[in-house]
Structure 1
Amino acid sequence: MAVFVLSITAVLTAWCGFEASKWGGEMSIAFSQASSARVQATSAEGEARDARQFDLSVYAEWVRATYNGEQDLAEYIQERFTPEFTIAFDAWTAGGRVEAGPFAVPEYVPPGTVEAAELTERADAKFQEALTNNQRGDNYSLLTVLFALVLFLTAMSQRDLAPWARRFLLIGATALGAVGVVILSTFPIRI
């Protein structure tokens, strides 16, 4: 019985070590993907910020020309609005210009804004996936320790002890191993 318990437990211990390693690799990949998405999101946010700054500069010139009564100049500037700002400007005008400006209307979405939001969401999801994978690896590592305890108790049951102590250790090891197998059956597998 002891040889059987030792053999099975040795295989289960190796399996848990393998799975812990695999989930550690999955964690590293997910963290790397999260980092990459975060860098891309930052780049897209920079693109949106630059576009917003350009639109703001052009709009400031339009406001100045309009205020000074330079209608030809205001029309010339308006023709040079970016497509995204034109949509917002038209919505602002159609709404009676009650908002603080075209930048305040929901129609104003500078290039890079949507991409930044999507990439940030992806980075957050990958980061959460990495944390989940880390926990899975930790779970397998903890189960490896449990199976090592089973190996220890089984080996101790073969020592020169009283027969009741040997049986107690072997039965305890077998029961602990069975609990480990039940727990192991609930864990996800990565091959």
Structure 2
Amino acid sequence: MLQSAVGAVGYVIRKLNQVRENLSPSQSRFEAIEIIEALILALVAVATAWSGYQAAQWAGKRAQQYAEASRLRVTAEGLATLAGQERIYDSDTFNSWVAAKLDGKEKAAEFFERRFSDEYRSAFTAWLRTDPFNNPQAPPVRYSCPITTTRSTSSFLV
């Protein structure tokens, strides 16, 4: 490509020298205009080829990025669903624990407490330390403790 560009420049220089040596000023002006037109057309051809190349290159990159975004979206939706299911499980287990505790069924309450997920158990223990049954300043709900984050929630929030 460089040789063709150098060859074209050499041709233009030769033509301009011929024009300058020519005695007819009107003819030399037309030849100069033809040379300028040829240069402009050559630049247009190179620019067109370059823009076509760039368009093809960026179309490929766009397709790759779109596929990656779709994969990440599907993964995030799956993790969000899993996190919601874990939260429902812990919530139902907690509600059963409260019902057993209020009914005085300690064995049932212990049973439900053992069924908490590991992440929820740490939040539940922190909530119990606030003495929620006797302390009016304790958080009203176990989810208001800052510790309540499931493994699934943290993986799709990061």
Residue in structure 1 matched with residue 148 of structure 2 by the alignment? 108
Displacement of 1:21 after TM fit?
Answer: 1.9
Residue in structure 1 matched with residue 40 of structure 2 by the alignment? 5
Tell me, in whole angstroms, the C-alpha distance in 2 between the residues paired with 1:46 and 1:111: 12
Residue in structure 1 matched with residue 58 of structure 2 by the alignment? 23
Residue in structure 2 matched with residue 170 of structure 1 by the alignment? none
How many residues get paired? 118
Structure 2, unmatched stretches of 5+, are 1-34, 133-137
Amino acid at match of 1:76: F
Residue in structure 2 matched with residue 88 of structure 1 by the alignment? 123
1:1-191 alignment runs, 5 A limit: 1=35, 2-97=37-132, 98-118=138-158
Kindly indicate whether the alpha-carbon contact (under 8 Å) linking 1:51 and 1:111 is maintained by their aligned counterparts in 2: no
Structure 1, unmatched stretches of 5+, are 119-191
Q: Secondary structure at the match of 2:104?
A: coil
Displacement of 1:71 after TM fit?
Answer: 1.5
Amino acid at match of 1:116: F
Tell me, in whole angstroms, the C-alpha distance in 2 between the residues paired with 1:96 and 1:9: 79
TM-score w.r.t. the length of structure 1 is: 0.57
Cα deviation 1:47-92 (Å, max 9, x = unaligned):
0011011111111111011000111221222122110110110111
Displacement of 1:3 after TM fit?
Answer: 2.2
Kindly indicate whether the alpha-carbon contact (under 8 Å) linking 1:85 and 1:102 is maintained by their aligned counterparts in 2: no
Higher-Rg member (1/2):
2
Cα deviation 1:118-162 (Å, max 9, x = unaligned):
3xxxxxxxxxxxxxxxxxxxxxxxxxxxxxxxxxxxxxxxxxxxx
